[in-house]
Amino acid sequence: MSNFFYLEDFIGKERNKIAYVCGMGPSLKNYLSQVENTENVVIACSDVDTMTNIIPDYWVFANSGAGSSPNMNERWKKFKDTVIVHAYSVDPTPNSWIRENVITNYIGYDQRHFNDTDCSNCPGGCNNRISGKKTIQEILMNLSNYERRYGTGHTVAVHCLALAILLGCSEIYLFGIDLDYSLGYVDNNTTNNDSFSPWLPEILEDFQIMKESAQNMGIKIYNMSEVSPLKKIFETKSNL
Q: How far is CA 138 from CA 18, 188, 208, 230, in A?
A: 24, 37, 16, 23
Query: Which of 1-15, 60-74, 127-141, 215-229 shows the lowest per-residue confidence on average (mean pLDDT)?
Result: 60-74
> What pLDDT does residue 122 have?
79
Q: d(Cα 223, Cα 132) in Å, to the nearest integer?
A: 35
Quick: pLDDT tens for 82-122.
999 999 988 888 889 999 999 999 999 999 999 989 888 77
> What pLDDT does residue 124 have?
65
Q: Among candidates 130, 129, 128, which has minimal Cα distance to 93?
A: 128
Tally of helices (H runs) and strands (E runs) in the chain: 7, 9
Q: d(Cα 167, Cα 9) in Å, to the nearest integer?
A: 10
> What pLDDT does residue 90 have?
87
Q: What is the average pLDDT score of the chain?
A: 94
pLDDT > 80? residue 134: yes
Quick: pLDDT tens for 140-172.
999 999 999 999 889 999 999 999 999 999 999
CATH number for 4-236 (one of 2.60.40, 3.30.450, 3.30.300, 3.90.1480): it is 3.90.1480
pLDDT > 60? residue 1: no
| 231 vs 153, more confident | 231
| 104 vs 66, more confident | 104
Single pTM value for the model: 0.96
